[in-house]
Structure 1
């Protein structure tokens, strides 16, 4: 029987499935060919398991191998998966180009986040400086109310939905976990809806802050958030500049919208 391992949110996942997807996500993160031991070391997997996964992906046509250099890299078959979904986002590669444009103009790490159950998940990470101090791993998850991306995502939901969500989360929290103060959270969400962005200070990593902004809802069938990671020491002096960069690039790639399109559920 297939082994299971925790996904970090109380759910069990098939180990081989999780590892296969994490291998592909690692390639998306580093964007270069890698040897078996490089992949194994980066993900903490046994060499034999890593080799078996890569060989299976080669057989299926999702990865190709350079026998001379003994390196592996995904094929275009990977990029074609899911290209039929959210055509507004991915037509002419608009979403990837948006993230690249924000990264280039800001010079900072840029993330794309989505809700995954009770968590915010980083589904794209671009870091031009490979910042060791605030590195975010692609696919990593943080509790919704405990991260900049998560809090910005919550602003896309009705207050009653948020109350119900955290009534359940608080009821089933672990003994050592602090309950979420729902009243304070709702006030914060109202402020996000008014300003259309959220500034997170030292929430996930001390010394690292984030400016988070919802993508226009007309572009996607679920809320998505773009975030710029900034050292805490410079967040306030660059806040206006980076918010302007995000707004200008979103408008350039997806149109200005009417305000409501960014906030509607």
Structure 2
């Protein structure tokens, strides 16, 4: 085998490894080999060999029968390392703590990753009725206030390139038409914040604002509150607190 062929083979193997890990990351739980093979489309024999290698290395786990597979603990260690080493997450901690204290609601810091947002940090509300979102969770940008706030920092044409015409529906309130979403992004730019009106989770309203320490923005902060607890006065207080948090986070990240 030539050096070029060997190099190409190594690259192909690396791509398959990453795709396989992303499959497991996006589908919690254990999965049969046939299910994994149907999803990724690799030849069953090479898929099995790759899975066994990843199991031996700790990136994939298998059940007691050895026939079902899921994400391994090594992936958690790498993900934790990313969070621990991210300068924005470190700089945002005091701001997130204060925003949590000011609003008494659930607070998030998230980053745009393609057409999704990934949660980097969260502060849980102390109320009994509260949403729960874990660090590392990945959600469609178009259905979240965080994602809409970030998409609004891109030109309309670039948003059209990023998103398909028909968007995934998570609840009955989700905007599924790209052009209607773009119309809303115009309002987001005008008012400076985005709103998720039960578009991702029924019974939950979220307010998000981008933190443009770079352009287009890649990070945003949000406040989530059950609609049963949301009054006009509480909503206005949340918006004011978010704008204040944005200013403080811009100041904290200006040297990054």
Identify the TM-score tier after normalising by the shorter chain.
Answer: 0.5 to 0.7
Q: TM-score, normalised by structure 2?
A: 0.62
**Deviation per CA, 1:152-192, whole angstroms, max 9, x where unpaired?**
221111100011222xx347989xxx993222111100100
Equivalence for 2:200: 204
Question: Which is higher, the Rg of structure 1 or of structure 2?
Answer: 2
Give the Cα–Cα distance (whole angstroms) in 2 for the partners of residues 197 and 159 of structure 1.
17
1:101 aligns to 2:98 (yes or no): yes
Equivalence for 2:148: 151
Which of 136, 148, 164 lines up with 1:139 in the alignment?
136
Give the Cα–Cα distance (whole angstroms) in 2 for the partners of residues 208 and 105 of structure 1.
19
Equivalence for 1:161: 158
Give the Cα–Cα distance (whole angstroms) in 2 for the partners of residues 128 and 105 of structure 1.
11
Give the Cα–Cα distance (whole angstroms) in 1 for the partners of residues 150 and 230 of structure 2.
20
Which of 80, 85, 88 lines up with 1:82 in the alignment?
85
What is the CA-CA distance between 1:135 and the residue it aligns to? 1.2
Q: Which stretches of structure 1, 4 residues or longer, exceed 6 Å deviation after superposition? A: 171-174
**Deviation per CA, 1:17-58, whole angstroms, max 9, x where unpaired?**
9x989xxxxxxxxxxxxxxxxxx9xxxx869x99x948x99x
Equivalence for 2:228: 233
What is the CA-CA distance between 1:253 and the residue it aligns to? 4.4
What is the CA-CA distance between 1:254 and the residue it aligns to? 3.0
Contact 1:170 1:179 in 2 (8 A): no
Q: Secondary structure of the equivalent of 1:94?
A: helix
Give the Cα–Cα distance (whole angstroms) in 2 for the partners of residues 236 and 130 of structure 1.
15
Q: Secondary structure of the equivalent of 2:108?
A: strand
Give the Cα–Cα distance (whole angstroms) in 1 for the partners of residues 58 and 147 of structure 2.
26
Q: Secondary structure of the equivalent of 2:92?
A: helix
Give the Cα–Cα distance (whole angstroms) in 2 for the partners of residues 215 and 126 of structure 1.
18
Contact 1:210 1:228 in 2 (8 A): yes
Q: How many residues align?
A: 204
Contact 2:105 2:127 in 1 (8 A): no
Relative to structure 1, the CA distance from residue 236 to residue 46 in structure 2 (aligned partners, 3 Å threshold; closer, same or farther) is: farther
Q: Secondary structure of the equivalent of 1:180?
A: coil
Bigger shift: residues 150-159 or 232-241: 232-241
Which of 243, 249, 259 lines up with 2:245 in the alignment?
249
Equivalence for 1:72: none
Equivalence for 2:109: 112
Bigger shift: residues 132-141 or 184-193: 132-141
RMSD: 4.5
Q: Secondary structure of the equivalent of 1:129?
A: coil
Q: TM-score, normalised by structure 1?
A: 0.60
Give the Cα–Cα distance (whole angstroms) in 2 for the partners of residues 78 and 207 of structure 1.
34
Matches for 1:177-188 after TM superposition, within 5 Å: 180-188=176-184
